[in-house]
Amino acid sequence: MTQLDSPPRSPTGGAAPLERRTVPLGRRLRRASMPWLLLAPALLVLAVLLLWPMLRVLNLSLQDFELRNLLRGESNYIGLDNYVQVLTDPFLWKTVLPNTVGFALVCVVLTMIVGTVVAVFLNSLGTAWRSISTTAIMVAWAVPALTGTYIFVWLFDPQSGLVISTLDGLGVMEPGSFNWFTNRWTFYAIATINVVYHGFPFIAVTMLAGLMTVPKELYEAAAMDGATAWSRFWNVTVPALRPIIAVCVILSTIWDFKVFVQIYLMPGGDGSTREVMNLGVWSYTQSFAQGEYGMGSTIAVLLTALLLVISVIYLRVLMKEDEL
């Protein structure tokens, strides 16, 4: 009987380690490039539709580019002069930036609150009523922003709107005694109602989808431990929906910071009333009303940078909370 060869021994008496098999360089390169090849069509579309226009806007922001430059096809680079002019303008810090940031933050908070409350209510309904109610609120989301804005303009018309007619009937205010659209606070109050009305259905449906995935056993266990309804919501629902809440907050922030139609179409929002301008309207009026495309591009770049900063800060806060 032949004795099988024993495995090679190391100098210390143990078995020698097996030689590590190396993957050929060409195969490793092919494996590494395969995901990028699959993503290439989508990345190409994003580069054409998003990256290239952004680079063009950034290029224009470095120029004193007006209508005559557009017609002649000439460039007039002035470096960072546009940024210096915008950032040193008191109108930015006293009017435009407070309008943009304050309005967006209020809209995000109210949209999340209303959307979450509606989602919890829908989750408590039966299947039939939930389907009917969800379809009803989605109608508000389906209405174009242009149409919805004109509806709110009609509702708050200072002469014959539904609101002033109701107040007149109650003996509180006479028609024409106050114009809602010339006052900065009432103007943005109407715009806030408009934005929240059109934004909460998306939040509600998204949160509802998350609520339906939370196991009911968690609520039953919390109830048996004596937890109140608010305690069950805060300690069971919120942790389970944290990723969904994060996505909804980021999307709402982006949408509400760049609100344009709901502001521009309201009386005075087209730039004729300067105290109600936000960054989006200011950029548009500088570009197309004043013909200063370089200055308008600068304001647009600043708005994009502001959105990126806020989104990055929010994501970092979320990641730190997950690490704790």
Better pLDDT: 70 or 15: 70
Taking residues 93-118, report their average pLDDT.
93
Res 18: pLDDT: 45
Check: CB of residue 273 under 8 Å from CB of residue 182.
Answer: yes
C-beta neighbour count of 145 within 10 angstroms: 15
DSSP string, 129-175: HHHHHHHHHHHHHHS-HHHHHHHHHHHT-TTT-HHHHHHHHTTS--T
Does the pLDDT value for residue 19 go beyond 60?
no
Could you tell me the domains of the chain? Answer: 31-71 (no CATH), 83-323 (1.10.3720.10)
Better pLDDT: 91 or 224: 91
Token pair recorded at residue 204: 């509600």
Phi and psi at 9, nearest 5°, equal -105, 150
Residue that is written with structure tokens 């032949």 in the block: 2
Phi and psi at 8, nearest 5°, equal -60, 140
Model confidence, pTM: 0.79
Taking residues 204-228, report their average pLDDT.
84
Biggest alpha carbon distance in the chain?
115
Res 324: pLDDT: 40
Percent of the chain with pLDDT over 90: 31
Q: Which residues contact 218 (CB under 8 A, 6 or more apart)?
A: 236, 240
Q: What sign does the dihedral 46-47-52-55 (CA atoms) show?
A: positive
CA distances to 21, 37, 38, 39, 271 from 32, rounded to whole Å, are 18, 10, 11, 12, 52
Which range is least confidently modeled, 149-153, 205-209, 236-240, 249-253? 236-240
pLDDT in tens, 307-317: 888 878 877 77
Taking residues 222-251, report their average pLDDT.
84
C-beta neighbour count of 27 within 10 angstroms: 9
pLDDT in tens, 49-65: 778 888 888 998 898 88
Res 9: pLDDT: 55
Average pLDDT for the chain = 84
Q: Which residues contact 144 (CB under 8 A, 6 or more apart)?
A: none
